[in-house]
Chains A and B, each alone.
Chain A
Amino acid sequence: MDRLNSRLGQYALGIAAHLLLLLAWYLFVRLGEVPKFVMPSPADTLAALFVPNYDWWHNALVTGTEIFGGYALALVVGVALALVFTWSKTLEALVLPLLVTLNMVPKVALGPLIIVWFKYGVFPNTIMAFSIAVFPILLTTARGLREIEPELLDLVRSLRGSRWQLFTKIQLPGALPYIFSGMKVAAILAVAGAVVGEFLGSDRGLGYLMLQVQVTLDTPAMFMAVILITLLGMLLYGLVMLLERLLVAKDARVS
């Protein structure tokens, strides 16, 4: 009961902090008499949601698809590549340094290239989100898969365990805390990737919409777009946290 109470207390504090921010925002705009095109009030921002022209639902769906699609792709490719590395030391020695270098390339700078290669639209932006999110997942997973104690490996080998058994029974569950720490970083990056992609070249999505309303100086709509993007990011992050809570033993989590 005590634990439940402190749990609820924590949630209450978290919600209170958000409400306080809203209040501060409201008071700042109201008392400071800030013009709407510089900073809209919370009410103005909410009102922007009801402008039918902006087609919020559709645009949010597009951006969400890019974020979640790019992220899912990054997760599959990142974990699979890391697994291949544990199977072949040569390949790892060959490719991993290259990937560290590629990780240094500012993915945003690749934006114009991606447009040249894949044209406009949802797919290139998904690729953008993917290219940004894949590295932290790959690098942390490769690290986690390598963490296996050599004697444990001996134990599996002495029983002629297969690579797949080693992966599913020992390496993957052992690497999960690492994978999740990479996944959390990647969640934030995937959102940034998708939105930057939309800034650079797109005809749909919340990032695209922001550029459109910027021209008309509809600041409330820009605020709303930022909030919706943030909510999409929080949805992804929340899902990752939930999955971690389900899959990773509490004493093994990497925060």
Chain B
Amino acid sequence: MTAAVDPFIHLVGVSKTYRSGRKQHLAISDASFDVMPGELVALVGPSGCGKSTLLKILSGLHPHDGGELRMGSATHPFDPARDVGMVFQAPLLLKWRRIIDNVLLPAELLGLPMREARERARSLMAMVGLAGYEEKYPYELSGGMQQRAAIARSLVHDPKLVLMDEPFGALDALTREKMNLELLRIWKESGKTIVFVTHGISEAVFLGTRVVVFTAGPARMADNFEIELPHPRTLDIKTHERFGAYTRRIYKLLGMD
């Protein structure tokens, strides 16, 4: 009898080595952290630290080859075939499909009942701020709006876990700040568990309920700590004393102090 909820994702010493011929490349090691249901965990680190590899492992695309990984719990079961939503750095919308039909793609792939999926896609588009753009084509939307559509697409099949790989990395700084706020709102409204990869340190601290820090050469997990900043978060918290302390802590871990 414990009051505590089981973690939704549980990693202990997860590692992954890619082999090509006789060469071996350690892509990630020592990854040990828990993600609780409904958390927004930010994975931060330089290029080559393994954060994207870890995302691929969580998505089920690549198997890990060391350590222990458990996804789902008794209270929050996880079906790897349909409980993952993905958002990438590029929106990757199909340019011959209208936005609503792009959002519907995962539902089509999973063979969900389309009438309900369409309803859901419409309400998701409204949630991400794209009401009225259902019948537009991708080229008619700005980069930020295309990324909103990609977020709606990642939610259309109602997955329990959304994996985001530097989703705002290609946006300009102002749009990026705006999308950070939007993401926090969408996260609250949807109640999803989100794992968010970034190399923006302040972005990680601003968004995350927890930040997991990775270092490169060798690729390994360096730290994992909770971000105790109030919710809902506004841009004001960036001037919060603790915000500065968190970012300094990460800079230090990355050897940039």
Contact B94 A158 (CB under 8 A): no
How many angstroms from the CA of A149 to the CA of B92 in the assembled complex?
8
Binary CB contact string for chain A from 218 to 255 against chain B (1 if under 8 A, 0 otherwise)? 00000000000000000000000000000011011000
CA distance A156 to B61 in the complex (A): 10
* Inter-subunit contact B96/A249 (CB<8 Å): yes
Chain B residues within an 8 Å CB radius of A249: 95-96, 137
User: What does the 1/0 interface line of A152-193 toward B look like (CB < 8 Å)?
Assistant: 101111111100010001100110100000000000000000
Q: Which single member of B61, B137, B139 contacts A154 (CB below 8 Å)?
A: B61
CB distance from A158 to the nearest CB of B (A): 5
Contact present for B84 and A248 (CB under 8 Å): no
Query: Which B residues are in CB contact (< 8 Å) with A174?
Result: 94, 96
Q: CB within 8 A of A152: which of B84, B92, B165?
A: B92
Considering only CB atoms, which chain B residue lies closest to A249 in the complex? Answer: B96
Chain A interface: which size bin? Answer: 20 to 34
Task: Give the CA-CA distance A202 to B59 in the complex, in Å.
Answer: 61
Say yes or no: B88 contacts A170, CB within 8 Å: no
**A173 partner residues in chain B, CB cutoff 8 A:** 94, 96
In the complex with contacts A157-B61, A159-B109, A151-B95 CB distance below 8 A: no
Which B residues lie within 8 Å of A158 (CB)?
Answer: 59-61, 84, 86
Please provide the chain B residues from 145 to 170 with a CB less than 8 Å away from any CB of chain A in the complex.
Answer: 157, 165
How far, in angstroms, from A212 to B124 measured CA to CA in the complex? Answer: 71
CB distance from A178 to the nearest CB of B (A): 13
Q: Is the CB of B105 within 8 A of A169?
A: yes
- Inter-subunit contact A252/B88 (CB<8 Å): no
Partner of B88, one of A151, A176, A248: A151
Q: What does the 1/0 interface line of B111-147 toward A look like (CB < 8 Å)?
A: 0000000000000000000000000010100000000
A165 to B105, CA, bound (A): 10
Nearest A residue to B97, CB-CB: A173
Given A248-B96, A252-B96: A169 touches B139 (CB 8 Å cut-off): no
Once A154-B59, A249-B137 are accepted as A-B contacts, the answer to whether A159 and B94 lie under 8 Å apart by CB is no
With the chains together, A154 CA to B60 CA distance in Å? 10
> Given the complex, which residues of A lie within 8 Å of B106, measured CB to CB?
155, 159
Q: Is B81 an interface residue (CB 8 A)?
A: yes
Say which residue of B61, B82, B108, B165 sits within 8 Å of A169 (CB atoms): B108
Q: Which residue of A lies closest to B106 (CB)?
A: A159
Bound Cα distance A165, B94 (Å): 14
Q: How far is the CA of A165 from the CA of B107 in the complex (A)?
A: 12
Chain B residue at smallest Cβ distance from A247: B96
* Chain A residues near B96 (CB-CB < 8 A): 173-174, 176, 248-249, 252
Contact of B139 among A155, A248, A251 (CB under 8 A): A251
In the assembled complex, the Cα of A152 lies from the Cα of B90 at a distance in Å of 10
Q: What 1/0 flags go to B66-90 for Cβ under 8 Å of A? A: 0000000000000001101010101
Q: Which residues of B contact A176 (CB under 8 A)?
A: 96
CB pair A155 B94 closer than 8 Å: no
Q: For window 216-241 of chain B, which residues contact chain A by CB distance below 8 Å?
A: none
Give the CA-CA distance A169 to B56 in the complex, in Å. 23
A254 CB to closest chain B CB (Å) equals 13
Contact of A149 with B90 at beta-carbon distance under 8 Å, contacts A154-B56, A159-B81, A160-B81 already known: yes
Task: Quote the shortest CB–CB distance from A152 to chain B (angstroms).
Answer: 5
Asked whether, in the complex, the Cβ of A159 is within 8 Å of the Cβ of B88, the reply is no
Say yes or no: A252 contacts B95, CB within 8 Å: yes
Is B110's CB within 8 Å of the partner chain A?
yes
The residues of A that contact B56 with a CB separation of less than 8 Å are: 154
Inter-chain contacts of B157 with A (CB < 8 A): 159
Q: Add 19 more A-B contacts to A151-B86, A151-B92 (CB < 8 A).
A: A154-B56, A155-B86, A158-B59, A158-B60, A158-B86, A159-B82, A159-B106, A159-B157, A161-B109, A169-B109, A173-B94, A174-B96, A176-B96, A248-B96, A249-B95, A249-B96, A251-B95, A251-B137, A252-B96
Ordered by A's residue number, 28 sampled pairs between the chains whose C-beta atoms are within 8 Å are A149-B92, A151-B88, A151-B90, A151-B92, A154-B56, A154-B59, A154-B86, A154-B88, A155-B88, A157-B61, A158-B61, A158-B84, A159-B81, A159-B109, A159-B110, A159-B157, A160-B109, A161-B109, A169-B108, A173-B94, A173-B96, A174-B94, A174-B96, A249-B95, A249-B96, A249-B137, A251-B95, A251-B137
The 7 closest A-B pairs by CB, nearest first: A161-B109, A151-B88, A159-B109, A160-B81, A249-B96, A158-B59, A152-B92
- Chain B interface residues toward A at CB < 8 A: 56, 59-61, 81-82, 84, 86, 88, 90, 92, 94-96, 105-106, 108-110, 137, 139, 157, 165
